[in-house]
Each structure stands twice: as structure tokens, then as C-alpha cells.
Amino acid sequence: MRAMQVSSFNNAPKIGIVPEPAPKKGEVLLQISACGLNFADLLMAQGTYQDTPTPPFTLGMEVCGTVLAHGAGVDSPAIGTRVAVFGGAGGMAEKGVFPAALCQPVPDEMPAEVAAGFMVAYGTSHLALTRRANLQTGETLLVLGAAGGVGLTAVEIGKAMGATVIAVARGADKLAIAKAAGADHLIDSTTEDIKSVVKSLGGADVVYDPVGGDAFKAALGACNREARILVIGFASGDVPPVPANIILVKNISVIGFYWGGYLHFNPGALRESLAELMNWHADGRLKPHISHVLPLDQAADALELMRSRKSTGKVVVKP
């Protein structure tokens, strides 16, 4: 079968022919319909992600597919069931094996490309804003990278939770997408000063930051007292130092959040969060934005769209 393989961290990933996998104990074999890409896939290809497998391995952290076979000890989900699953790797391929316990049945009305790009982006924002930041109705949420895969879902979920949302993105086109997702105020990071604009709007109570670098520093300067800053990632490539004196004086909390970590220490929290999000989607409260759907043969182009920041929302690969 075809798969997007990382053979070593010194070579670019490429499509190769690999043996079809067989499900082991506790696993299911899926016919993969779609694979949602994440910024972490870029890091994994370079060997810099915290949960990178040993090469060779297949990229692709989250998928939607149909159950073809069970491994030992597995009797559900039933063969023929359409499921979504976060497997950490193995998704950019025609078939893949994944833990049965992590498979979430997908409603018939949810397209495969939506289901494949739903879990990480929406799950990250939902659990971060509810469990970690305890975002309250009437608070002001500042979202950095607001047109990206996770940033756009933070805008949408924050608005659904009753917050006033300030979206930061690069350029008018990306800001228009954030506005369509519910943002109340827009900041173009290429032409405007984040700190001064946010302060003029009354400051931020919660900051959602998948960017890092200078954007983190600007957001910190615009925080209200007792604000909470969610550290989601470092798309800028710059991990910023945290000035403890400012944190102390303004009683600010800096909160780390890694969605995948819950798979190891509290998978129940992920299941509860995803179940609620599925209900929100069924009720029409969430409208996932997918900017590009590409075939597996163009997986390298899909990765480049994210690397060059030419995508908005999610990028999906379909075998």
C-alpha cells in the first residue's frame, strides 16, 4: 500500500510502498478515508516533536476510516463502522492500525474530511478553554494565529462559550475567515501593534497562543490582572521566555496545554470533550473550516501549505 513515510530526519518525507499492517491485540485495521494534518506533523518529520516515533514511520496523526478487521481481544467498534481516531502517526496511508479504545464512531452526516480534521483542533481548544483556562461568559479571549488549524476553532468555541473574542492573524483574507467564525474584533499582525490594540479594547482575560515568539510577548503585555495564558504551541519557531516578574505583579497564570498528553494520563477527559463537541456539531453550533483537500500523492504539497502558512483552518489528505 502507499504511505507518506519518514525514512530519516535528514530526508524529506515521501510516498513509498509499504506492507499492509495487521492489527495487534487491542487494535483495529482501518481503510483510511481522510487524514487531518497538524503542525505537529511538520515537527515530527524533523524529529523535534515530543512524541516522535523512531524512523521509518508513516506521518498523519488523526484519521477517519472504516473498520476492516479486529486484533485479538477486540469486538468493537464493529467491522464496517466509520470511526475517527487520533493515533499519533500512521494516518497518511491507504490503511492503518489504531487502538480500538480510541476510536470514536462518526455520525453519518459528518463528512470524512471533517471528521478527520475535527479531533485535535476542536479537542485542543475545547479542553484548553474549559478545563484549563476556565473561560467565563463575558470575559475577553485573545486568540493568536486565529486563522490556523487550532486558532480558528478557539475563536468559534470561545464565542460559543459567551466570550468577547479578539482574533489576531496575518492579512485581511485570514482575518475575514476569523470574523466568519465569530470574532468580535480583528487585529492584523502584519500592520498593527497587538499590545496597544488589545489594551485599547480593555485587555485580555484569557490568551490562546499557538504561535509563541513576539506574539506571546505582546499578548502578555496586554493581559488584565488574573489573566490566564494558554501555551498551545510555537508555530513561529520561537519558544519565548516567561518574565516571572510580570507574572507575579499582575497575578497572571501561564498554563501549558498538550492535548495528546491526555491520552496517557486522562483519556476519559478527551472522550467527554469529544462527545460534547460531536453534539455541538450535530446541533449546528460548529462549522469546521477546511481550506484544502488533497490526494495522498500530493501529501508533500499539503505539508508545504502548512509550513508556508498558506492554509487556513484544516488541511486534509485523502488516500
* Annotated domain spans of the chain: 2-118+288-318, 121-259
227: left (phi over 0), alpha (psi -120 to 50) or beta: beta
Model confidence pTM above 0.75: yes
Cα–Cα dist 75/77, whole Å: 6
Q: Which residue has the cell 524512523?
A: 55
Cα–Cα dist 96/81, whole Å: 15
Low-confidence ranges of the chain (pLDDT < 70): none
Provide Rg for the chain, Cα atoms. Answer: 19
Cα–Cα dist 93/275, whole Å: 26
pLDDT for the residue 51: 85
> Can you list the pairs that 78-86 forms with residues at least 24 positions away whose Cβ atoms lie under 8 Å?
81/105, 82/33, 82/106, 82/108, 82/112, 82/115, 83/28, 83/30, 84/115, 84/116, 84/118, 84/119, 85/30, 85/119, 86/61, 86/62, 86/119, 86/120, 86/123, 86/260, 86/263
Do the first three CATH levels of 2-118+288-318 and 121-259 match, i.e. the same topology? no
Percentage of the chain beyond pLDDT 90 is 86
Q: Which residue has the cell 504539497?
A: 301
The helix/strand/coil state of 69 is: strand
Report the residue count for the chain: 319
pLDDT for the residue 309: 87
Alpha-helix residue ranges (DSSP H) falling in 90-231: 112-116, 119-127, 149-160, 172-180, 194-200, 213-221
Contact by Cβ (8 Å): 187, 194: yes
Amino acid at 208: Y
- Check whether domain 121-259 has CATH 3.40.50.720, yes or no: yes
All cell numbers assigned to 167: 482574533
Distance in angstroms between the alpha carbons of the first and the last residue of the chain? 10
pLDDT for the residue 186: 98
Contact by Cβ (8 Å): 194, 168: yes
pLDDT for the residue 263: 84
Architecture of the structural domain at 2-118+288-318: Alpha-Beta Complex (3.90)
26: left (phi over 0), alpha (psi -120 to 50) or beta: left
Cα–Cα dist 207/194, whole Å: 12
Using alpha carbons, select from 186, 145, 147 the residue that is nearest to residue 165. 186
pLDDT for the residue 226: 98
